[in-house]
Amino acid sequence: MAEKMWLDDAELAQEKMKRVALRTGEELLKRFPYGGGGDVVGKGVDGTYTHSIDKVAEDLLFKYLEEEGFRGSVLSEERGYIRGMEPELMV
């Protein structure tokens, strides 16, 4: 029998995504407690400027998705399309 994929169970996927979002938000508040993060650190694949808070947020998001076992495709403003084994996720 094939291994169950992360998004096969909608309730579980919702729980995991909520956990990823909360962890990301909490960590961003720790790193940028008084706002900020607007300094330009590069350009995203879409050609727009990448601000430090954008980079940190996406780095955290990808880290936490991996920790939760997500192996899906992701469409990201900063990194572009990353092909995975599961359905697509847009961030």
Closest Cα partner for 37 from 27, 25, 28? 28
**Residue 57, both tokens:** 């947020």
pTM of the model: 0.82
- Residue 7: half-sphere exposure toward Cβ, Cα within 13 Å: 12
Q: Is the pLDDT of residue 84 over 90?
A: no
pLDDT reported for residue 1: 47
Closest Cα partner for 79 from 59, 60, 53? 59
| C-alpha to C-alpha distance for 5 and 85, rounded to whole angstroms | 9
Q: Is the pLDDT of residue 3 over 60?
A: no
pLDDT reported for residue 25: 97
Domains detected in the chain: 6-90 (3.30.540.10)
pLDDT in tens, 15-39: 999 999 999 999 999 999 998 999 9
